[in-house]
Amino acid sequence: MTYSYIPGTCNLGKAEVRRRQVVALIGLVLTISSFMGLEAADTANAARWSLFAPLMVFSVGFIQSRKKFCLAYGLMGTFNLGKLGDISRVQSPQDRKADRKTATLILLQSALLALVLTFLLVSLPF
């Protein structure tokens, strides 16, 4: 499958998408290990709110990989469809504006997903 730059829709190539999948996996592992640590230490349920940070890492990686769009690249006006490190600049001001809008939306979606997942973990009865 080949990827092409589409303003506000796609600014990542296959290698970059894979990198975002790894970030999501790291966030998931951090969340699980942190949750297990909190449970082993017999902390209060309120301490589970600290899981928001690793869940945010998971959410950002997950949503970026699903959308094939990097929020940092979108905010910087860049994209990468080739090898890792082959970053190109977005030339059109309209395209940069569309990318910034999508990047902001991804950040908000990630925060919302992390917040919902955190709330669910805080609400667990054990």
Read off the pTM: 0.93
CA dist 106 and 95 (Å) reads: 16
Report how far apart, in Å, the C-alpha atoms of 63 and of each of 14, 17, 33, 82, 106 are: 15, 10, 21, 20, 7
Q: Is 52 helix (H, G, I), strand (E, B) or coil?
A: helix
CA dist 39 and 49 (Å) reads: 13
What residue segments make up the domains of the chain, in order of their start?
A: 14-123
CA dist 126 and 117 (Å) reads: 16
Strands in the chain per DSSP E: 78-79, 88-89
Q: What is the pLDDT along the chain (126 residues), one digit of tens a residue?
A: 678 999 999 999 999 999 999 999 999 999 999 999 999 999 999 999 999 999 999 999 999 999 999 999 999 999 999 999 899 999 999 999 999 999 999 999 999 999 999 999 999 987
